[in-house]
A and B are shown apart, each in its own frame.
Chain A
């Protein structure tokens, strides 16, 4: 489903230029780049710095602060399961175990068919836990069988 544009300086410059006039533009620009390319290419750092007239170090600071920002190409799909207290209390550990066994990886790893499995701490969906974010889409009240279905659907999409 995620068709990111391949990284090019020209395209990146266009994205950066669009963001330059927005307030607090460093984070917004990095997010826009990630939306465009699926990640923030290392070459984007000096480009963003120059465009927004901040230092490269400042861009690096923002880029490394937010775990959500990637610096390497995005996986085909991402599965993020909430492991904060509320979701844990309604079964998110089971959800995680199911996802790990389906994908054949541990949390924090990427499967052989490039699906990332990550733990996140609260998606703001506590009333509908356990929750997960799959390719950016929020899913609530998930059961382990549903998790298997979700992953199967991702795989069929990739294939």
Chain B
């Protein structure tokens, strides 16, 4: 389309049941009470001249251009700040108003450079427009008076310029920073003639500015202007698409000049973001055309050879023949694939189809394994569907936000701005996080409670919150009676009232005061609308799934499900985590979360796909890696994920990858994983993709190609071609055809098509006959599973313990300017803000170790070691250290262990026992390159004493059967039953649903030979499976 100009109604929409009727320039208008005269006029198609008003900001009334006359009133009130009244007769164009407006414009222009033709905003300048509208022909004051034309430019921000000489001091930027972004980084400094926009008396780069772009978007002139527009000129056409960074899924207008992307502008009609953006989506898209992009397929015989650029056909043939020979020699199950949450639903769908239909097994997993798999598991068990319950807009109705293990201002900034807006309106905030995230206290936001709990104690704390609510009679009895299973509730109530779940008992485990737990519980229970928002600080634990169920219990017990302002809301890390899970990326589930053992469902897929599908769950990523080390698993197709950097225990991952005969990597750039690959299939950036992403609120957004594929093919075409080379016919004419197949096979997507999305913008699944327009809020009248299911959630301490050798707990997170492993953001100007991972540490831990702020430290866990710079801060409590994982040189995951969630194997990234000591930068192990001797000639062994080395050695060689026994033990401890028999049944049901037969067999064999010993319930559950007792998929 040509350049899209969105209408601007001048002031925000007002919500009211009362309608007001008035007349504007002779036209009858009816609008909700509270609407401004300006907006009413705009709705009648009449544009009142304005400069300081825009409909994303509250009216301000400073520019004096939007004056109108109202019958029966004196003077000329500003239409932006005047609310409508019944029977009002408004005149927006009179001679008196024309004279006034022209006079005002004369004053503005008397202090404005007359360089329109060479101005970067030429053609997109409201001042220019208004000069035209008021018919400005001369400036009586001349241009020689005192003025601001020589004011200096601030070009310190890498993405936009502040040119004060063009500023008209309308305050739109200041207000956008406050009202839209909530950062308050801008002000009007000085007074009178000296008034000027200022980022607090410093440069933009050094200020509190987070570079979200809201000010640039709000600016009516060229004062705040994208550097890309200054360099390239005004764009001429628009493509509507979706950001590919986090799970907020912001809609953007990609504005192009020809085929060149000039800028990304947040789209006001985007359901997720409603016109707001963050530094990543708005500005950090330059990686898409970065010189490091690989655009041609490459192959090599061995990972020690150089890459050889080949044609597509040769690459497909090379990969297919190897897969075929591996399967011939080692069996059908020796190969598998990993789908990417960065790719579109359509791209993910074809990869899992390739695995299930062309590979002929269920060995497909996804990077969601390492982030939100417990969300899928926990919400399915309790509510019946593996997704968050609300839309983002819901937070505007929330009274108390319970935020757990998430740092939205850094990781989900656009949603954070919405939440902060609500908090400034008076909603209360409770934060459960070991670290003092910015939301605990930042300008105009202050949490009522911050519980800085010990990493690993989430479940204990959520139980104590629920305990308080039940014990103090704060349960929403009516909701529970009407909406939940009575027997499950009764059991849960009995469980939660046990003394070990009391705040006093939990206080010592979690390291937080019992009174704070009680206070937080009372505040949440008393909320009219209480909403839970959470992130990977919930899921990436050994009890990730238990915690998700614990939060679901809490929401049900307080009646906070099924309407606006409430719910259990995962903040998804990646743009399409929700979608990749929906698309059947897990080894036990077909698209739409239907178990592979469900014969009816499987048959539908078999009919459409023309192949018999396996009915047993396939391998998860950790199983694949284990299998590679033991020689059974030989080939892996990795779509857009760098498991050698992002997955835990890097050394282990690399060893497993090295052991495989064939690793196929489909990605934008060579990465850590491709070092172990034999085939490199170049991928496409989101700017080249045609498809859909599904964000954290289940919103299916269109991704439209902004530029042609740099590789010549779409990723789904590459996957299809590989299937064809394997002898499985897979053909689609377009991505839209893939969505049609998804809709045909997936009940929750039945009503979804590209045509529908292009028509309505976006829909939130379920979208089908029952919900033709999608489902913003789930579980409104009843839960998807019928009645809500309370599940007992016993606190089980992680196996990862601190000891004398490893006395500190390392936990991890993200920062605003970088994204995950940094493959994209490291290739943008965002590195100007942060270019290394640092370790945060409390003074109480640093001082006895002789560690100074800013010094290099050596970090070691049971599995690995690395070196990074230390920052001493009270953001983390004593005993806890924190870092990020954005830079491969740090290799933070060299440190993390393979311990994982008992139900889903989501790695326990958030808890690793470590020791820290002073180091020099050259001291060993930068980037996880575990060189035996560093540049100073110091070996790792010199740094670690004998006892530590022995622990590490033992840990590295934990036997596979013992690992399985440990996993089973965790399942037993997390599964509470009515009776011992009931517990055994629950454990057996879990194993049947999620473990592969091979895993069960291996453990049963080890038990029979006496190699491992199991607890009685574990042994009984295993025996039940081996005996082929009744099977029912969970």
Contacts and interface: CB of A to CB of B under 8 A. Distances in A.
B140 interface: no
B1000 interface: no
A58 B178 CA distance: 10
Interface in A42-87: 45, 49, 53-61, 64-65, 67
A60 B443 contact: no
Contacts of A64: 189-191, 198, 201
A56 B208 contact: yes
A60 B189 CA distance: 7
A67 B195 CA distance: 12
A58 B198 CA distance: 10
Contact of A57 (B184, B190, B191, B442): B184
B110 interface: no
Contact of B444 (A54, A59, A67): A54
Interface string B177-193: 00000011111111100
B494 interface: no
A65 B194 CA distance: 9
Contact of B200 (A53, A56, A65, A67): A56
B963 interface: no
B184 A58 contact: yes
Contacts of A45: 200-201
Given A60-B189, A65-B190, A54 B184 contact: yes
B470 to A, nearest CB: 35
Contacts of B201: 45, 56-57, 60, 64
Interface string B497-512: 0000000000000000
Interface in A13-60: 45, 49, 53-60
B191 A60 contact: no
Contact of A61 (B188, B443, B445, B446): B188
A67 to B, nearest CB: 8
B1010 to A, nearest CB: 63
B446 A57 contact: no
B443 A58 contact: yes
Contacts of B156: none
Contacts of A58: 184, 187, 200, 443
Contacts, number: 58
Which of A55, A56, A60 has most chain B Cβ within 10 Å?
A: A55
B405 to A, nearest CB: 24
Nearest to A71: B201
A74 B323 CA distance: 81
The main secondary structure of chain B at its interface with chain A is loop
Contacts of B186: 57
Nearest to B441: A53
Nearest to B443: A55
A57 B444 contact: no
A77 to B, nearest CB: 25
A56 B198 CA distance: 11
B199 interface: yes
B207 interface: yes
Highest count of chain B CB atoms <10 Å: which of A45, A57, A58:
A57
A63 B477 CA distance: 54
Given A64-B201, A65-B190, A65-B191, A57 B208 contact: yes
Contacts of B184: 54-55, 57-58
Nearest to A62: B187
A64 B443 CA distance: 19
B198 A61 contact: yes
A137 B445 CA distance: 41
| Contact-size category for A | 10 to 19
Contacts of B189: 60-61, 64-65
A52 to B, nearest CB: 9
Contacts of B207: 56-57
Nearest to A52: B443
Nearest to A42: B201
- With most chain B CB atoms within 10 A of its CB, the pick from A49, A59, A64 is A64
Specify which of B185, B443, B445, B446 lies most central, judged by the most chain A CB atoms within 10 Å of its CB.
Answer: B443
A59 B443 CA distance: 11
Interface in B184-226: 184-191, 198-201, 207-208
A26 B201 CA distance: 17
Contact of A60 (B183, B200, B442): B200
B1027 to A, nearest CB: 63
Contacts of A49: 443
A55 B185 contact: yes
A140 B364 CA distance: 89
A29 to B, nearest CB: 15
A75 B471 CA distance: 65
A109 B201 CA distance: 24
A53 B187 CA distance: 16
B417 to A, nearest CB: 15
A64 B201 CA distance: 9
A61 B191 CA distance: 9
Given A60-B198, A64-B201, A54 B187 contact: no
A36 to B, nearest CB: 21
Contacts of B443: 49, 53-55, 58
B151 to A, nearest CB: 15
Contacts of A53: 441-446
A61 B186 CA distance: 9
Interface string B979-1006: 0000000000000000000000000000
Contacts of A61: 187-189, 198, 200
Contacts of A57: 184-187, 198-201, 207-208
Nearest to A67: B191
A122 to B, nearest CB: 15
A60 B441 CA distance: 20
Nearest to A57: B200
Contacts of B441: 53
A156 B825 CA distance: 66
A54 B183 CA distance: 9
Nearest to A55: B184
Contacts of B200: 45, 55-61
A67 B200 CA distance: 17
Nearest to B207: A57
Contacts of B188: 61, 65
Nearest to B198: A60
A53 B440 CA distance: 11
A108 to B, nearest CB: 14
A26 B290 CA distance: 47
Contacts of A67: 191
Contacts of B198: 57, 60-61, 64
A119 to B, nearest CB: 14
Contacts of A56: 200-201, 207-208
Contacts of B183: 55
Given A61-B187, A65-B189, 18 more contacts: A53-B442, A53-B444, A53-B446, A55-B443, A57-B186, A57-B208, A58-B184, A58-B187, A59-B200, A60-B187, A60-B189, A61-B188, A61-B198, A64-B189, A64-B191, A64-B198, A65-B191, A67-B191
14 contacts: A53-B443, A55-B185, A55-B187, A55-B443, A56-B207, A57-B185, A57-B187, A57-B201, A57-B207, A58-B187, A58-B200, A60-B189, A64-B190, A65-B190
- By Cβ-Cβ distance, the 7 closest A-B pairs, closest first, are A61-B187, A57-B200, A55-B184, A64-B189, A55-B443, A57-B187, A60-B200
